[in-house]
């Protein structure tokens, strides 16, 4: 592989090599080397990193780490003015020379190894649906005595007119909207063109339900580790392309009151020799007993999973009744009000799968993917069959029947409480560690406290005259 990298550097007259990695919460970091320095020794041994300066990694007294290039992950930088080769890196403990337990890519690799150990010959495949908003402008301000935001979208006003502040709309008319209502088809096509350069497959793109610039790019099926890389890189590339068009792309789950939120749904299934092991032509869905138990694991651990798949205070402004985002931990066939949907159009051994709908893109994709797989494997291991799928609108069930369906957490704090109480399934095989989860919970509790302590503009409307 090192010879192949050197060939790419020579063939494309590469001047710089960019080594990229994410912190525990999913934010990108990078360092750039002159291509002349990227020799055999550096490829094998890596480059030093100060882990104490990266969110969620190390204390200052033990900050030294090594970033080892994953040479198979290389791609040409699509935005740099100078010819640059990007390579993702794996973080390594400087003393033990083994994977760093808080490195998200390492967690994803360990989850894949756990699957292989428990089910030899079986792989997992994942298809992420990236929903996001494109705004013409965003202003945010907050300090003692004043706070607010202003989002503008030309789609929220007269097409071709000046951008306006979005208002509550008949939003369902915007789903798969065509031009001129859809202003962003070319923008999305350019995003997909860039994703192809990053070796990220795209299934399709379209306008989403939200009228004020909500869109979706659906990626192709990928193995778990590559799917984590693809989501993290896609978010980066989408933001960069939007900026080139004078727009701001946000994956914030609920940026607009009264409009649909943005999720990160994950289609997923286990496969052996090209056939879904979730498939049973005699089963409901048609899900196999193994597939139902995988579903049972996701539902059983769904409240704890939320702390990793929906890890922001804003996440829980999306998970509310009245939109397509789920609020109850149930599964159903061809029903988008359930936490798990079995697609009604996927009926053969090649494509029977499930769609887990609660997650949003504030998650670290490597962490979220690994956690979902571990929940599913726990369901298989323990035989957690969820029973027959629910039918109809879950929220329209009689109160007594609805009360029997577990609810997703209503806040980040509630989700973190659930993770503290239910996380042994994540520790199986050392995929997650107590240290990683303790660090995650501490970081997220600090976020929740930071938001909770600040007066909200709506509170002034409600209480200023009390």
- Active-site choice (18, 23, 131, 280): 131
- Mark 276-308 as b/e (b = at least 16 C-beta within 10 Å): bbbbbeeeebbbbebbbbbbbbbbbbbbbbbbb
Q: Is 208 a catalytic residue?
A: yes
Cis preceding-peptide flag for 150 (omega within 30 of 0) = no
- Active-site choice (18, 129, 136, 155): 129
Strands (DSSP E) found in 136-213: 137-143, 146-152, 202-207
CA dist., res. 433 & res. 89, Å (int): 21
Q: Is 216 a catalytic residue?
A: yes
Q: Which two tokens stand for residue 385?
A: 């069959």
CA dist., res. 156 & res. 136, Å (int): 11
Q: For strand 16-22 and strand 84-93, is the pairing parallel, antiparallel, or unpaired? A: parallel
CA dist., res. 204 & res. 191, Å (int): 11
Q: Is 336 a catalytic residue?
A: yes
- The H or E element spanning position 447 is helix 434-452
Q: Is 226 a catalytic residue?
A: no
Main-chain dihedrals φ then ψ at residue 166, nearest 5 degrees: -60, 145
- Active-site choice (105, 265, 301, 303): 265
Q: Is 265 a catalytic residue?
A: yes
Q: Is 82 a catalytic residue?
A: no
8 Å CB contact between 214 and 259:
yes
- Active-site choice (357, 360, 366, 423): 357
Q: Is 131 a catalytic residue?
A: yes
- Active-site choice (229, 351, 355, 360): 355
- Active-site choice (39, 40, 50, 284): 50
- Active-site choice (336, 422, 445, 447): 336
CA dist., res. 448 & res. 413, Å (int): 7
Q: Is 181 a catalytic residue?
A: no
Active site residues: 50, 129, 131, 208, 216, 265, 336, 355, 357
């Amino acid at each position: 592989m090192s010879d192949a990298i050197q060939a790419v550097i020579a063939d494309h007259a590469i001047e710089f090599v960019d080594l990229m990695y994410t912190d525990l919460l999913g934010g990108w970091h990078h360092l750039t080397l002159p291509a002349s320095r990227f020799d055999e020794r550096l490829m094998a041994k890596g480059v030093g990193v100060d882990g104490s300066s990266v969110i969620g990694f190390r204390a200052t007294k033990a900050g030294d780490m090594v970033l080892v290039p994953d040479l198979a992950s290389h791609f040409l930088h699509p935005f740099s003015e100078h010819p640059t080769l990007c390579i993702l890196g794996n973080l390594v403990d400087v003393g033990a020379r083994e994977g760093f337990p808080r490195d998200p890519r390492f967690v994803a690799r360990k989850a894949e190894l756990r699957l292989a150990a428990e089910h030899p010959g079986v792989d997992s495949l994942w298809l992420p649906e990236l929903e996001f908003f494109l705004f013409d402008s965003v202003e945010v301000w907050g300090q003692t005595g004043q706070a607010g935001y202003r989002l503008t979208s030309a789609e929220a006003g007269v097409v071709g007119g000046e951008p306006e502040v979005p208002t509550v709309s008949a939003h369902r008319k915007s789903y798969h909207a065509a031009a001129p209502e859809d202003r962003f088809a070319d923008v999305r096509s350019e995003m997909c063109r860039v994703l192809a350069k990053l070796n990220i497959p795209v299934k399709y793109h379209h306008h989403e339900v939200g009228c004020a610039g909500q869109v979706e790019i659906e990626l192709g099926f990928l193995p778990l580790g590559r799917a984590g890389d693809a989501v993290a890189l896609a978010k980066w590339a989408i933001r960069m392309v939007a900026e080139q068009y004078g727009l701001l792309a946000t994956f914030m789950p609920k940026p607009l009151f009264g409009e649909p939120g943005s999720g990160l749904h994950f289609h997923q299934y286990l496969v052996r020799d090209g056939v879904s092991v979730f498939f049973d032509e005699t089963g409901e869905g048609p899900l196999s007993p193994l597939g139902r138990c995988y579903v049972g694991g996701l539902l059983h651990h769904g409240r704890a999973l939320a702390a990793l798949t929906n890890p922001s205070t804003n996440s829980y402004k999306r998970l509310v009744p009245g939109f397509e985002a789920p609020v109850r931990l149930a599964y159903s066939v061809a029903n988008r009000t359930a936490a798990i949907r079995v697609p009604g159009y996927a009926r053969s051994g090649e494509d029977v799968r499930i769609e887990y709908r609660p997650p949003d893109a504030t998650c670290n994709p490597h962490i979220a993917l690994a956690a979902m797989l571990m929940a599913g494997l726990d369901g298989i291991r323990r035989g957690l069959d969820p029973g027959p799928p629910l039918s109809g609108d879950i929220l329209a069930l009689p109160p007594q029947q609805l009360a029997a369906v577990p609810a997703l957490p209503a806040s980040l704090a509630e989700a973190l409480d659930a993770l503290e109480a239910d996380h042994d399934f994540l520790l199986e095989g050392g995929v997650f560690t107590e240290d990683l989860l303790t660090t995650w919970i501490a970081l997220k509790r600090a976020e929740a406290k930071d938001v909770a302590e600040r007066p909200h503009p709506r509170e002034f409307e409600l209480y200023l005259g009390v």
